[in-house]
Amino acid sequence: MIAAAADREWDGTSVVLSPIPVGIAPYHGRFPGTLSISPETLRRYARDIVDSLSSSCSSLDTVVFVNEHGGNGETL
């Protein structure tokens, strides 16, 4: 929602992508069904997204990740 709202306010060209579905949350592992990825996996995933956008959008200048999970903040 935050990204979509920012997109509506921005007067330039932008692309809003789907949220990253799983983040860094090893401290929630005691709860059944908890999913968590390593910081390195998140870094590589984010890098791949940027590389993919760079390849498909020739006018790409800036990429903004909107973090919705506290565990991802330091890595992103």
pLDDT tens digits, one per residue of 46-57? 999 999 998 998
pLDDT in tens, 3-21: 888 889 988 888 888 888 8
Q: Would you kindly state where each structural domain of the chain is located, as residue ranges?
A: 2-72
For 19, what's the count of Cα atoms within 13 Å in the CB-facing half-sphere?
12
Spatial CB neighbours of 37, under 8 Å, sequence gap ≥ 6: 22, 23, 24, 45
Please state the length of the chain.
Answer: 76
Q: Note the pTM of the prediction, 2 decimals.
A: 0.76
34 to 3, 26, 55, 59: CA distances (angstroms): 25, 8, 34, 38
Q: Please give the single-letter amino acid code of residue 50.
A: V
Q: How far apart are the first and last CA of the chain?
A: 19
